[in-house]
Amino acid sequence: MADSSVTMVTAGIAGIAVIVTVVGWNVSHYLAKKREDRTLRIESTINKIERQIEEFYGPLLSRMELIFNVWRIREIIFNKVDNKCRGKIDEFVWKEYFLPLHDEIRDLIKVKFYLVDDQKVASSIKEYLEHSTQELFQKRIEKELNISTAHIEGKRWPKDFHPNVLTALSDIKLIREDLIKELKASQ
């Protein structure tokens, strides 16, 4: 009887050990899978943010800065030439500088707008498109159809466009930095 009691106790301990091992393995596997899924989500978000920066916000901001630079240089030249020359200079600057830059911005928006998830930027883009499209229409109507549109007030450059893009870019860069820190801390 003593032998059978020892055997039963040994079998019971072995059974408990198997159960603890199986439960431990399942808990460990679950936690590892959860950590792996979290890591993949963080990496995916970082990749999306990097695409937003590289493919949309960076190129957009660069072209905006070029437009501002052209405007500043245009103003310098305007202040140093006769009023009679300003119309020709305006047409030249528009055709050679503003038009190509606006075309590039519209093309960028056309193919990369899906990367925008900031409502203020999206709203500013709508206003920008109204500005650049109206300007394009008026210039082409005047040039190609010889119909003056000078009496039609153009839609101005949206004053919040540049600040909204800068803020959105800064915000996503901060999110990216925080996610990288979180990723490093969890490894």
| 21 in any annotated domain | no
| 3 in any annotated domain | no
From 172, 136, 154, select the one nearest 61 (Cα to Cα).
172
- pLDDT above 60: residue 35: yes
| 9 in any annotated domain | no
From 175, 177, 173, select the one nearest 61 (Cα to Cα).
173
- pLDDT above 90: residue 28: no
Q: What is the CA radius of gyration of the chain?
A: 31
Q: Which residue has the higher pLDDT, 57 or 4?
A: 57
**pLDDT score for 17:** 76
Q: Which residue has the higher pLDDT, 37 or 171?
A: 171
| 5 in any annotated domain | no
Expressed as residue numbers, the domain containing 102 is 39-185
- Residues 68-83 have a mean pLDDT of 94
| 10 in any annotated domain | no
- pLDDT above 90: residue 141: yes
How many domains does the chain contain in total? 1
| 61 in any annotated domain | yes
From 68, 67, 75, 134, select the one nearest 102 (Cα to Cα).
67
**d(Cα 96, Cα 73) in Å, to the nearest integer?**
13
| 122 in any annotated domain | yes
| 2 in any annotated domain | no
pLDDT class of 10 with cuts at 50, 70, 90: confident
**d(Cα 1, Cα 166) in Å, to the nearest integer?**
83
To the nearest 10 degrees (0 to 180), the angle between helices 99-112 and 119-145 is 140
Q: What are the tokens at 46? A: 């970082």
- Residues 78-103 have a mean pLDDT of 93
- pLDDT above 90: residue 34: no
pTM for the model stands at 0.80
By the 8 A CB rule, do 57 and 109 touch?
no
